[in-house]
Homo-oligomer: A and B are copies of this chain.
């Protein structure tokens, strides 16, 4: 678990977010001085629920899950985030606490930006502020959407949603390796492991998806049908 920490060179970074792209050289220098870059291995936790939130997190490369243990101490995956992107900053700005945990799903490079400096930049640079605002809006809309789908759809529809999400948003391919276990998939769509397992096999039997035993390869064969199931709920 040796982590390579190095001082950031934000100015020359090729993975700038929309927000950071609005910063001047001087502002980038300020950010560089107050941020650091850490390499995380697959399965490593980046920060933990209820810990103090001292930094805004930007994923430079890799795949990360945001998750939390809910009221029934049951695990819930809130979002799977692909680089380049900020992790949800809402709870960090408003309260200085992490309301959720973050864990790397693949080897990942993560930037830690000091919250106070981040706030300073919001006040200094209105374009930056606007882009951050848009980013928070996007998070909100995503949550909104997930809330409605989760509430109204049955397990088939929710599982279809998740598979389409991996295909369209994460891998941009109809063939991919599931980056999470069935248990985690269940935590993502709010169902039990067994139900998800059964539902996946149903999809396989109906030739909607194919996969080998270990899910090292999963392919969406009949995407229109999957979309139909997603819509039907």
Q: How far is the CB of A76 from chain B (nearest CB, A)?
A: 6
Question: Provided the pairs A93-B133, A129-B130, A134-B94 are in contact, do residues A71 and B140 lie with their beta carbons within 8 angstroms?
Answer: no
Choose among B129, B134, B147, B149 the residue that contacts A126 (Cβ–Cβ < 8 A): B129
Contacts of A148 in B (CB 8 A): 68, 70-71, 76, 78
A76 to B233, CA, bound (A): 15
Contact flags A160-194 to B (C-beta < 8 A → 1, else 0): 00000000000000000000000000000010000
Contacts of A78 in B (CB 8 A): 144, 147-148
Contacts of A212 in B (CB 8 A): none
Chain A interface size range: 35 or more
Contacts of A76 in B (CB 8 A): 148, 151-152
A196 to B108, CA, bound (A): 46
**Is the CB of A153 closer than 8 A to any CB of chain B?**
yes
What is the oligomeric copy number? Answer: 2
**Is the CB of A205 closer than 8 A to any CB of chain B?**
no
A224 to B129, CA, bound (A): 42
Q: List CB contacts (< 8 Å) of A39-85 with chain B.
A: 68, 70-72, 74, 76, 78
> Contact at A70–B144, with CB atoms within 8 Å?
no
Contact flags A103-145 to B (C-beta < 8 A → 1, else 0): 0000000000000000100111011011011101111110110
Contacts of A139 in B (CB 8 A): 140
**Is the CB of A231 closer than 8 A to any CB of chain B?**
yes
Closest residue on chain B to residue A133 by CB atoms: B133
> Contact at A70–B151, with CB atoms within 8 Å?
yes
Contacts of A231 in B (CB 8 A): 71
A72-B233, A140-B140 known, 7 other contacts, Cβ within 8 Å: A76-B151, A94-B138, A99-B141, A122-B133, A126-B126, A133-B136, A143-B143
Q: List 7 A-B contacts (CB under 8 A).
A: A70-B152, A90-B138, A93-B137, A94-B134, A143-B144, A143-B147, A150-B151
